[in-house]
Amino acid sequence: MIASPNYVRGVWDGHSVTDERISKQTSVIASVFEDYFASLGLPTIPFKFNGRSDFAPFMEAGIPAGGVITGEDEIKSTEEAELFGGIAGMVLDPNYHQSTDTVQALRGPGMHFFIILQF
């Protein structure tokens, strides 16, 4: 979920977490990424925590989580295509949980913003 071919620049939406044990911390994590990309003039969109990723057991145990995402099996909206390019009406990551979800599928402009975060 970090190299979706039809990517968006998403931030896990820590501001929407209602678990009082971790709501403040997840909000802080989201703000770090939102502020970083805003400082570069790069738009982001919030992704609701959906319980479908590795973060779910941690959050259930009261451990805050957060981060960035380029998309899963969501359909790209017209507004998202205007912000990030790509094709509206098509899935963000056609490889998500498929046999094609391999290292060889890692490519595209969505990878770029993760490389920036690493260095």
Q: What is the CATH number of the domain that holds 46?
A: 3.40.630.10
Structural domain range at position 109: 10-118
Is 3 in contact with 36 (CB distance < 8 Å)? no
For residue 61, the model assigns a pLDDT of: 96
Which has the closest alpha carbon to 35: 66, 5, 59? 66
> Alpha helix locations (H) across 2-108?
23-39, 55-60, 78-84
Residue 3 lies in a domain: no
For residue 105, the model assigns a pLDDT of: 67
For residue 87, the model assigns a pLDDT of: 93
pLDDT in tens, 69-103: 888 889 999 999 999 999 999 998 877 777 877 77
Residue 91 lies in a domain: yes
Residue 1 lies in a domain: no
Chain mean pLDDT for the chain: 85
